[in-house]
Amino acid sequence: MVDVVKNGSGVRTDGAGLILNPRYLQPYPFEVYDAAGWYGWMERRWTWVAVPVSILYVLLIFLGQRYMSRREAFSLRLPLLLWNVSLALGSFWMFLRMVAEPVEEIKVRGFYQTICSRENHTVISSFWCLIFTLSKVLEFGDTGFIVLRKQKLIFLHPWHHVTVMLYTFYTFGPTFDPAGRVFGPSNALIHSFMYLYYASKSLRLKVPQWVSKGITSMQILQMIGGLWVNLLSFFGKAVWGDCNHRPWSNIAWALAMYTSYLVLFLKFFVASYGRRGGRGGKVINNDNKLD
């Protein structure tokens, strides 16, 4: 049930204060959801879901690798192709539905207020932020393909999966982080390119090295951008005394997370494309998955 409130300017909002009728983008009926109910559920239950799922994920990696050590690798070419195409299309659609809000807010109020204030949050963006959050559990399936195909699993892969999933669940529920307006669309856009690359590799197409190098470079730029957003928020709270819609816990967690990603992605980039790196273009060794 969605409560609708109208104000004098004709703006319609729901029980969570989300705008239902932004002038720049109209919602589909399924996007008008019970946001207040979901926010409350996430705040109370997110650890009950995210933490056990993360533990189970890591456990299944070890058990799966042990199981596959005595067996031949599966090919899984067709399932992998369908998986990658589905995630590429889904990621791009999420980007299209989420990006309108931060673009509009940046034009009207500037970048700083966009990442520091929850004002003018729309039900469209909120719905797809929820789907984005839940999709981080779905993306654990990437690791299943790696294990079943007996490919090399580097530390960056499970570390990135687990920490992103925990962070998105935490920030969607208890803290409703406005910086997610920027983090979500940028991540979804890069994922659409990344999974399209994986799909082409599933078809055994010869992809030029500059493509994989460009995707990895985009991921590194995403980490640098994430650090910049959080440093800007840090100074906003510590020096300027505002940016109050971003809790210290969010900023600290995100700074640590993005720093670790930047170090690991740079290490991977140097190993893959440096003078002593491999010859072929790749995003991760043996078509491994970054996230």
Tens of each residue's pLDDT in the chain, 291 residues: 455 545 544 567 766 789 999 999 999 999 999 998 999 999 999 999 999 999 999 999 999 999 999 999 999 999 999 999 999 999 999 999 999 999 999 999 999 999 999 889 999 999 999 999 999 999 999 999 999 999 999 999 999 999 999 999 999 876 679 999 999 999 999 999 999 999 999 898 999 999 999 999 999 999 999 999 999 999 999 998 889 889 999 999 999 999 999 999 999 999 988 865 454 545 553 344 443
What pLDDT is attached to residue 12?
72
Spatial neighbors of 235 by CB under 8 A, at least 6 apart, are none
Q: Exposed e or buried b for every residue in 215-245, given b needs 16+ CB within 10 A?
A: bbeebbebbeebbebbebbbebbeeeeebeb
Whole-angstrom Cα distance, residue 123 to residue 110? Answer: 21
Q: Which residues are catalytic?
A: 160
How confident is the model at residue 272, as a pLDDT? Answer: 87
CA atoms of 255 and 275, how far apart (whole Å): 30
pLDDT at 289: 45
pLDDT for res 238: 92
Residue 291 token pair: 């996230």
Strand 5-6 and strand 12-13: pairing? Answer: antiparallel
- Token pair belonging to 148: 């079943």
Domain boundaries along the sequence of the chain: 36-286
Q: Phi and psi at residue 18, in whole multiples of 5°?
A: -80, 140
CA distance 209 to 282: 7
> In a 10 Å sphere around its CB, with 0-12 CB exposed, 13-18 middle and 19+ buried, how is residue 52 labelled?
exposed
pLDDT at 8: 43
Q: Whole-model pTM?
A: 0.89
User: What secondary structure does DSSP assign to 169-226, as a single string?
Assistant: HHHHTTS--TTHHHHHHHHHHHHHHHHHHHHHHHTT----HHHHHHHHHHHHHHHHHH
Q: According to the model, what pLDDT value does residue 291 have?
A: 39
State whether the Cα torsion 115-116-119-125 is positive or negative. positive
